[in-house]
Amino acid sequence: MNIAFMGTPAFAAVSLNALLEAGHNVTAVYCQPDKVNARGKKIVYGAVKTLALERGLPLYQPDTLKGTAPPDVDAIIVVAYGKLLPENWLTGTAINVHASLLPKWRGSAPIQRAILNGDAETGVCTMAIERELDAGGVYLSASRKIGDDEYFNELHDALADLGADILIETLKTMPPIIPQAGNFTYAAPIQKAERALNPDKSAIENYRRLRAIGPLNCVLDGKALKLHRAHIENGELIPDIVQAPGGKAIDFAAYLRGRR
């Protein structure tokens, strides 16, 4: 198939690579404009742009799609693009790969919200894109258990692979679309306040927050720290890997020895 691909981060790059490996003709790649790193000195390419450049694919990074015409292709594939498509781009086949079992966790942070919520499982689905956010009917879905000690990066990578697999299967079989049924939950973007330990939350709630969003800001004996890894022991959250301002992430025992 002739395909236009739209995506930006690493999660999307896995699907783009799968399309290429399956022999589809990707005639255009759209991703978000480049970002500048935290220090404002270096332009950072997204994973999709990096892959597109490596494979010599036509690349577009528009600030907006409003007022533009969609590409003349068999299908538009969208994976974590970061913007809603204009209505005139939805007249043909437009398929989205979404990292949840819809209608649960519509929105931009489905993986994080599933971990934060303590969900036992999550998954991915391919869905028809409609005007309303993540409201389209589902072509295919695949579920996966969430490990009790699984962190975001581990679950993210597993779901990226799973999403690529069902995308290829969707394009191969084009199964009937099944409308979403039941009430939906919204995966709201992660807020700044959520990136810190919360003393008003339980140990397990803070552990879920760490696994979903970490590293987390915290304070130990008046000193600022970032908590990278921890575990639950006897109902308490025990640090494993921490990082002092300006330092490297190190074992918590080594940090304590350095503090004497």
Give the model confidence (pLDDT) of 104-124 as tens digits: 999 999 999 999 999 999 999
The answer for 251, left when phi > 0, alpha when psi is -120 to 50, beta otherwise, is beta
Q: What is the β-pairing status of strands 75-79 and 121-128? A: unpaired
pLDDT, position 44: 83
pLDDT score of 125: 98
The dihedral sign for the CA sequence 159, 11, 79, 2 = negative
**Class assignment of domain 2-187?**
alpha beta
What is the residue-averaged pLDDT of the chain?
Answer: 95
What per-residue confidence (pLDDT) applies to 18?
98
Residue 123 to residue 66: CA distance in whole angstroms: 32
CA atoms within 13 A on the CB side of 37: 6
pLDDT beyond 70 at 87: yes
- State how far the Cα of 184 lies from the Cα of 103, in Å rounded to an integer: 5
Give 41 or 71, the one with higher predicted confidence. Answer: 71
Q: How far apart are CA 46 and CA 82, in angstroms?
A: 12
The rounded percent of the chain whose pLDDT value lies above 90 is 89
Per-residue confidence (pLDDT) for residue 35, from 0 to 100: 84
8 A C-beta contact, residue 73 and residue 103? no
Band of pLDDT at residue 38, cut at 50, 70 and 90: low
Residues 6+ apart with CB under 8 A from 185: 103, 104, 105, 106, 113
Residue boundaries of the structural domains of the chain:
2-187, 192-259
Q: How confident is the model at residue 39 (pLDDT cuts 50, 70, 90)?
A: low
Give the architecture (CATH level 2) of 192-259. Answer: Roll (3.10)
Q: Take residue 181 and report the two structure tokens written for it.
A: 């049924």
pLDDT band (50, 70, 90) for residue 90: very high
pLDDT tens digits, one per residue of 199-240: 999 999 999 999 999 999 999 888 899 999 999 999 999 999
Q: How confident is the model at residue 11 (pLDDT cuts 50, 70, 90)?
A: very high
